[in-house]
Structure 1
Amino acid sequence: MNQAAPTPAKVWLVGAGPGDPELLTLRAARLIGAARLIVHDGLVDPAILALAHPEARLISVAKARSRHTMSQAAINALLVREALAGTEVVRLKGGDPFIFGRGGEEAEACRAAGVPVEVVPGISAATGAAAAAQLPLTHRSSASIVSFVAGQCKGLSDQDWTGLAGHGRTLVIYMGVATAGSIAEKLMADGLAPAMPVAVIENATRPAMRVLRAPLAGLPALVAEEKVASPALIVIGEVAATPQTHKLRALALEALA
């Protein structure tokens, strides 16, 4: 008699937040501590991985520019294979799974294979970095629109970013360190002022966090001279000009008046 196939286990797409373990959601922390299989990205902080169960199997599928431990198709296949064999999988991603995390692709692959999937949101890299740097992405006096873009996409020069940055708007660029020169050139060619303020937030929420500032025209030199490395976000807009603490304090006092 043929033995029945096991019921597919669930795949959890879990956001690990911007880095600091204390910024994990309660649900994410519980799942990490209970999981027996964690498939994680390279940007997940080691302190978060240290929360895993002692008997958990940890598989790194780290991706760097042009250097992938495992292709996306292979990652999808791994998740499906383990779940179909009856192993519950925690797929751990930096930030939020559905913001430049390919969580959508992995959820689609699971559903197509009949594998149940659930998403646990995380504090995104953009909002976590901005909060840690006390740099508001929106501000009543200077920005009411925020856009997120990926800076390492193929065909960067052909993408239309017109209107994403400028007066009253904030542009947050993920994965843009390696292409900072092209990004600055593109935005200025599209009409953005060379003096537009830029902030680069490196290692957000971690002990080694740095916040570096320059005008848009000086972005390539800033990245090169400061040897900025991933993980880092680039924030472009008036909110990046100077620390906003004094303005926020004034608004708070006004609200209390």
Structure 2
Amino acid sequence: MGHEQVYQRFDIHQRIQHIGMFTSFMILTITGLPIKFEQSKLSQGVVSLFGGFDTMFYVHLLGGALMIVVSIYHLIYLVLVPLGGKKKSWAIMPNWKDFRDLAHNLSYFLGFRKNPARFDRYSYKEKFDYWAVFWGMLIMGGSGLMMWYPQFFTLFLPRWVIDSSRYAHTDEAILAISAIFIWHFYNVHFNNRSFPMSKVWYVGNLTREEMEEDHPVELERIERERDVLDKGQSKE
């Protein structure tokens, strides 16, 4: 019986970054919501599980530090990948095809088209997830550091900016939590094809069937390039 053909989706660095990001996100969610909704009985129960507010707050700071470290790791990775000889990919950058795919899918959902849009390496949904993290890190990371070290930031920022950071931090947190648990979890894990979980985040590979379903344009390009390479080698 032959082995199932697989295609690499994420290398080991990308998987570590993703694991670090969602681990820190879960820590921040569990410890952050009780801070925002401190009057809730559920929040008070979570605080008691940590043995008190101070302990929970320190865990929250630890989660924030981990998220910042993972973000820096990712930025360094983006710079070092092409320096290491690996071809740099710009596939994650938004382009006009994403808007065409969105319009195509809307027509499909409304019954005006028979087939959904065909995606390349990243769909518009995946690009939205990725760039939303950049936007969120600027707000969450920046406002979190302002609240963590107010004495430092008041040296060059007015007090009202520091005071506003709490509202920016908590409101962005609610937006991020809603997006992850409603949008991201359904698209990646809870849809009828992946439920109960997509395994790509830890195995790093997609099967041919998954590629045909989710990234047919990329699959066609890979096979086209493979055919060209095979023909070149056969001539040699």
TM superposition score category, shorter chain reference: under 0.3
Greater strand fraction, Structure 1 or Structure 2: 1
Question: Greater Rg, structure 1 or structure 2?
Answer: 2
Q: Whose RCO is larger (CA < 8 A, sep 6+)?
A: 2
Greater helix fraction, Structure 1 or Structure 2: 2
TM-score, normalised with respect to structure 2:
0.22
